[in-house]
Amino acid sequence: MKKTPIERAKSWAINPYFEQSERDEILDLIDSGNTHEITERFHKDLEFGTGGLRSIIGFGPNRINKYTVRKATQALVTEIKKLGVENPKMAISYDSRRFSFEFAKECAGVLAGNGIKALIYDNLNPVPLLSFALRFYKAQAGIMITASHNPPAYNGFKAYWSDGAQVTPPQDKNVIENYSSILDFSEIGYMNFDEGLEQGLIEWIGKEVEDKYFATMKKYIINPELCKERGKELKIVYTPIHGTGLKPCTRILNEMGLTNHLVVKEQANPDPNFSTVKSPNPEDPSAMAMAVDLMKKSDADIVFGTDPDTDRIGVAIMDGDEVFFPNGNQLGLLMFHYILNNTKLPKNPYMVKTIVTSNLLEKVAKKYDVKVFNTLTGFKWICNKMKELEGVDLDFIFGTEESFGYLHHPEVRDKDGVSSLALMAEVALWYKTQGLNLIQALDKIYDEFGFSYEQLFSIDYQGKEGSEKIGRIMEKFRNDSNDFFSDLEIIEDYQAGEQTNLDSGEKIKLDLPKSNVIGFKFKGGDALYLRPSGTEPKIKFYIMVQENEGTLANKKQKAMEKTDLMVDLIKKVADKA
């Protein structure tokens, strides 16, 4: 019989494996009758989502701490041992969050305790450098300690496989099963970090891997002559938002020749509290506020921001007296269009996007005979598709998701905020030499391919009750959509694995892994997708609107109005669930 949260709390409080101060903390919660906190910490174990393991830092099975990190590492180790590889090794990196370095060392200790060589960066480094190191060393797996753009109270554990991408089936499910099967922490192999160093089971990753990454990325600069000759004409403001991005992002800009850049001093250094922002999320305008102020004061052309693990970028430019923040779809569109127009394409090019990313990309791809593959949400699925196609006569040129993640080369197998920043800077420079800013560049694309507007709308629901509410909302949309949607043409239920055409009644099997995602396609080209977040306590709604009639200004206005109506409808349905 499953233990209640209070029973689990009591068992942790008397377990000698844990430190006395941690056990006392739980006893205090029990003695004070704090059932809410006990329930939140002990009602379940942490689960792997699209971003791996992620939670609030704290003591308990539903929190991220050195014990759950050890357990997650052991679960990954168990999967590696199945390979039967001689002298296996794993790469580890970490961001600027609280306990990130300590958790990374705990991971290394578990690897060493299991006889697996741990290769760990000697300084904090972003996701793309972890993925690159994994491939560089031909390691069997990797770990990134990060909670990406979550608030300061969070940290996390991202598991990577031998291709350099986050784990996908069957490894991800196996790791989850391995994690659940560890019933006692004493089952976990462990060696003190310093002892691991002495025995040669733990090694530092040095500068040579970083140097190799940047030398490789320079090969993917599309117009190096333009960057060298006119790079100083683009004035850039950059903020790492207290994360890992300062050194790699300024280095790549300098090596390209885009040396005219300013860094937001108050946000330059790693800070686990992210003291100057509410959330270190570059897609949130408030996180970019200080950089925008510096852009205005310095008369700069563009702002770039990266999240703590530097796998995503945000952008801002001036639009007269207003500030324009391109969304993730627009940045992907600009980069993809630039690649298509400024490179000699391979014989059989392809790009990959997630199902919730703008369908306008497919129109653009069609003109240039680029094959498009759609995947589930999460960049790991984009990279999984790349892996699937490695033996096929196709050439990868771009991967994009609406949540500000991009990749335009095959050397890394996760979204790469460093090389994406470099590419986007090159895009901005190229358009500036044409006398255009990014808004004008987008309008040119819209004039040719039609206007598309996308909006991500989320509702937060905290804790156990929130999780149950999210479940009811998903079921309401899954079962009763005909009651509140008009002009509905197609329903895609990725959990059931089928697409239903409401006009013909025809059902088609969806060729993607099953996932708790629902999609609605309307007559006229609009679409809505919804899913629970895999990393945060929220449900996400992806609204996609197309307008092809009238002037561009009229199209934009109509699209905004349709989106507002959709948001209002979503709120009403969610409230009643």
Q: Are residues 172 and 221 in the same domain?
A: no
Strand pairing class (518-522; 488-493): antiparallel
Cβ atoms 153, 57 nearer than 8 A: yes
Per the document, the length of the chain is 577
Residue 357 sits at φ, ψ, to 5 deg, of -100, 150
| Sign of the CA dihedral running 288, 291, 297, 301 | negative
The H-assigned helical ranges of 359-461 are 360-367, 379-388, 417-433, 438-449
What does DSSP assign to residue 288? G
Amino acid of residue 539: I
Look up the CATH number of the domain holding residue 568. 3.30.310.50
Cβ atoms 241, 282 nearer than 8 A: yes
Domain boundary among the residues 443, 461, 484 is at 443
Closest C-alpha among 247, 250, 269, 268 to residue 260? 250
Q: Are residues 196 and 220 in the same domain?
A: no
- 148 is an active site residue: yes
Nearest-angstrom CA–CA distance, 523 and 211: 51
Cβ atoms 278, 287 nearer than 8 A: yes
Question: In three state form, how does the secondary structure of 417-439 look?
Answer: HHHHHHHHHHHHHHHHHCCCCHH
Is 24 a member of any domain?
no
List CB contacts of 50: < 8 A, sequence separation 6 or more. 377, 378, 380, 534, 535
Q: Are residues 81 and 115 in the same domain?
A: yes
Domain boundary among the residues 417, 443, 469 is at 443
Domain region containing 571: 451-576
H or E segment to which residue 210 belongs:
helix 207-217
Alpha-carbon radius of gyration of the chain: 24
Q: Are residues 48 and 71 in the same domain?
A: yes
Nearest-angstrom CA–CA distance, 343 and 280: 34
Q: Which of 96, 100, 131, 148 is catalytic?
A: 148
Is 305 a member of any domain?
yes
Please state the pTM of the whole predicted model: 0.94
Q: Are residues 230 and 118 in the same domain?
A: no
Q: Are residues 78 and 164 in the same domain?
A: yes
Q: Are residues 503 and 519 in the same domain?
A: yes
Residue 99 sits at φ, ψ, to 5 deg, of 70, 10
Q: Are residues 334 and 370 in the same domain?
A: yes
Q: Are residues 466 and 515 in the same domain?
A: yes
Q: Are residues 483 and 539 in the same domain?
A: yes
Domain boundary among the residues 404, 426, 443 is at 443
Nearest-angstrom CA–CA distance, 107 and 488: 49
Q: What is the mean pLDDT of each run of 10 residues along the chain (577 residues)?
A: 91 94 96 95 81 88 96 95 93 98 99 98 98 98 95 96 94 90 93 98 96 98 98 99 98 98 98 96 96 99 98 97 97 99 97 97 97 95 97 97 98 98 99 98 95 94 90 94 90 96 94 94 93 86 92 92 95 92
Task: Name the domain count of the chain.
Answer: 3
Q: Are residues 56 and 157 in the same domain?
A: yes
Nearest-angstrom CA–CA distance, 441 and 452: 14
> Residues 329-377: pLDDT tens digits?
999 999 999 999 999 999 999 999 999 999 999 999 999 999 999 999 9
